[in-house]
């Protein structure tokens, strides 16, 4: 793996409590799966950094290797990969997502 890309990802997920690797931006998602996760995070009032992988082919490939996960979007909370669209949706529905966000000190709207 490209060591610089790897380092940038490590830095990003270390510096920001919640990072979403996605297609498009939080305001203009360019894929339905990315849009679904943005919607969940917005609904929970969670502040997050969106990283548009379409704007950076290095990150687009690198994040898949970094997390050993083949698809976008990917959600990181406090440096740890939590899941892609299906998992986030499932966790949101069961309330687990809200729980792990709060456990890790990320404010969630009640």
The residue within the footprint of other proteins, chosen from 3, 27, 28, 70 (CB under 8 A), is 70
Asked if 95 interacts with other proteins (CB under 8 A), we say: no
Alpha-carbon torsion, ordered 24, 26, 31, 34, to 10 deg = 120
Report how far apart the first and last C-alpha atoms of the chain are (Å, whole number).
40
Distance CA 72, CA 21 (A): 7
Cα 45 from chain centre: 15
Q: What is the contact mask toward other proteins in residues 11 to 50, using x (rule: CB under 8 A)?
A: ----------------------x-----------------
Asked if 86 interacts with other proteins (CB under 8 A), we say: yes
Q: Which residues contact 69 (CB under 8 A, 6 or more apart)?
A: 63, 81, 84
Asked if 105 interacts with other proteins (CB under 8 A), we say: no
Asked if 93 interacts with other proteins (CB under 8 A), we say: no
Distance CA 71, CA 102 (A): 26
Region of 2-10, 48-56, 80-88, 100-108 interacting with other proteins (CB under 8 A): 80-88
Please give the residue ranges that form the binding site for other proteins (CB under 8 A).
33, 64, 68-71, 81-87, 90-91
């Amino acid at each position: 793996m490209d060591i610089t890309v790897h380092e940038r990802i490590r830095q990003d997920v270390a510096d920001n409590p919640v990072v979403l690797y996605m297609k498009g931006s939080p305001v203009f998602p360019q894929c339905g799966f990315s849009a679904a996760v943005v919607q969940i995070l917005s609904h929970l009032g969670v502040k997050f950094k969106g990283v548009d992988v379409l704007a950076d082919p290095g990150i687009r490939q690198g994040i898949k290797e970094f997390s050993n996960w083949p698809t976008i979007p990917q959600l990181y909370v406090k440096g740890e990969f939590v899941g892609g669209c299906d998992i986030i949706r499932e966790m949101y529905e069961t309330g687990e997502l809200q729980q792990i966000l709060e456990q890790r000190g990320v404010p969630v709207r009640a």
